């Protein structure tokens, strides 16, 4: 079967955002007198939706706060960061996107991030014309590692999984992308 679409994850794949997310999570956690190590962040939090991370961090760090409130705090500091900054692109991303687009492949972003975060990347780097659409955690009931975001992308594309290539950087993302 012919390859017709490339489905990109956002954080850690298109953009090098994980170090920034790590810093922003610790900024939020500092308010509660705790921090998370980089090793734990990379092995547990990277590639996961904010709400999932909030729930895990509350248990892991024994924080007395509601998960919804903690997630909203993280969203707020992220939005504040994105007002004046964009996540830096991973090396070679611009050239890869332009080349794949020029070859006639359909490109989309399928992410556990929210639309606001991805929108900042798409706008900042003028990727609007390259990507057909964005599927984010805002669009599905269960985000990565559940396959919902990829199933929705396949439905929007009208393609079979075998006609698409998912580009992911985490085990959670690979699990989500392993749909048939």
Which pLDDT does position 180 carry in this prediction? Answer: 65
Residue 40 CA from chain centroid, whole number:
18
Residue 30, both tokens: 């500092």
Longest alpha-carbon distance in the chain: 54
Calculate mean pLDDT across residues 108-112: 94
The answer on pLDDT for 47 being more than 80 is: no
Residue of 178, 175, 180 lying closest to 48 (CA atoms): 175
Nearest to 25, CA basis, from 15, 14, 35: 35
Q: For the residues 168-179, what does the mean pLDDT come to?
A: 87
**Residues 49/74, Cβ–Cβ less than 8 Å:** no
Alpha-carbon gap, residue 118 to 133, rounded angstroms: 11
- pLDDT for residue 103: 97
């Amino acid at each position: 079967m012919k390859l017709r679409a490339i489905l990109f994850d956002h954080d850690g794949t298109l953009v090098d955002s994980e170090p920034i997310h790590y810093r922003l999570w610790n900024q939020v956690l500092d308010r509660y007198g705790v921090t998370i190590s980089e090793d734990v962040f990379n092995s547990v939090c990277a590639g996961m939706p904010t709400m999932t991370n909030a729930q895990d961090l509350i248990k892991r760090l024994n924080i007395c706060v509601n998960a919804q409130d903690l997630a909203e705090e993280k969203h707020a500091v992220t939005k504040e960061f994105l007002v004046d900054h964009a996540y830096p692109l991973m090396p070679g991303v611009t050239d890869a996107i332009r080349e794949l687009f020029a070859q006639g492949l359909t490109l989309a972003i399928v992410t556990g991030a929210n639309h606001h975060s991805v929108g900042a990347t798409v706008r900042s780097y003028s990727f609007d014309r390259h990507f057909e659409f964005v599927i984010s955690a805002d669009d599905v009931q269960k985000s990565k590692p559940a396959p919902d975001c990829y199933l929705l992308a396949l439905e929007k594309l009208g393609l079979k999984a075998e006609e698409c290539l998912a580009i992911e950087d985490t085990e959670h993302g690979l699990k989500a992308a392993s749909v048939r």
